[in-house]
Amino acid sequence: MNLLNQIKPGSYFLPQNQRRYFKNPLGQILKNRHDVVKLINELSLDHSIPKVITVGDVTTQVFVEQSFLPDIAIIDEHVQREKVPLLEIENVSTVEISNQAGYIMQNAWVEIINSLKSEDNKIIIKIIGEEDLLVLPVILEAPLDSKVLYGQPNEGLVVVSVTEEVKQSVCGLIRKMVKIDED
């Protein structure tokens, strides 16, 4: 049974009793800065990767500091619930969209789809609320062989190579969430 056909863009809530399933990283963790810089250098040289997407302010900041602008960056101007200044990045399109903590909101999911299809070279999706769970629709919607990068608090940078297998895992996680019917 192909779960990818069953998970549709929508609004989903993560109940407290399901949160433990979301703690495990969805890819390889890079724990030190040297490995992260090496990865960024590799990504900048590999033009076969369809999309490079960062989720999170620290992850995006590290890439920008290394002069690598991801195709899409999703930020919320918070790091572990603390407000951080807006990243100063030039020559990008910026979109603002809301997404509540503990949710994947349909409008945010649709914006991810639109950004992935956009002709704009580089896009920042600035979330009013929280971006943590948006890594799930990013992985589902990203083209195969894309790279999705996000921070695992107190552990390091998670590097997800988008494959059918990873998409299936993400579908399993979204199925643990509660779909909210919207009018």
Q: Mind listing the pLDDT tens digit of every residue in the chain (183 residues)?
A: 455 557 889 999 999 999 998 989 999 999 999 999 999 999 999 999 999 999 998 899 899 989 899 999 999 886 655 666 656 667 788 899 999 999 999 999 999 999 999 887 799 999 999 998 999 999 999 999 999 999 998 899 999 999 999 999 999 999 999 999 765
**Strand 123-129, strand 93-99: pairing:** parallel
Alpha helices per DSSP H over the chain? 33-45, 57-65, 106-117, 135-141, 164-175
Domain range list for the chain: 11-180
Predicted pLDDT of residue 108: 96
CA distance 61 to 44: 16
CA distance 116 to 35: 27
Predicted pLDDT of residue 86: 58
Type of residue numbered 18: Q
Q: How far is CA 177 from CA 133, 143, 174, in A?
A: 11, 23, 5
Predicted pLDDT of residue 1: 44
Type of residue numbered 8: K
Give pLDDT tens digits for 15-58: 999 999 898 999 999 999 999 999 999 999 999 999 999 999 88
**pTM across the whole model:** 0.91
DSSP category for residue 102: T
Type of residue numbered 81: R
Predicted pLDDT of residue 76: 87
**Strand 78-79, strand 82-83: pairing:** antiparallel
Per-residue tokens: 50? 């369809």
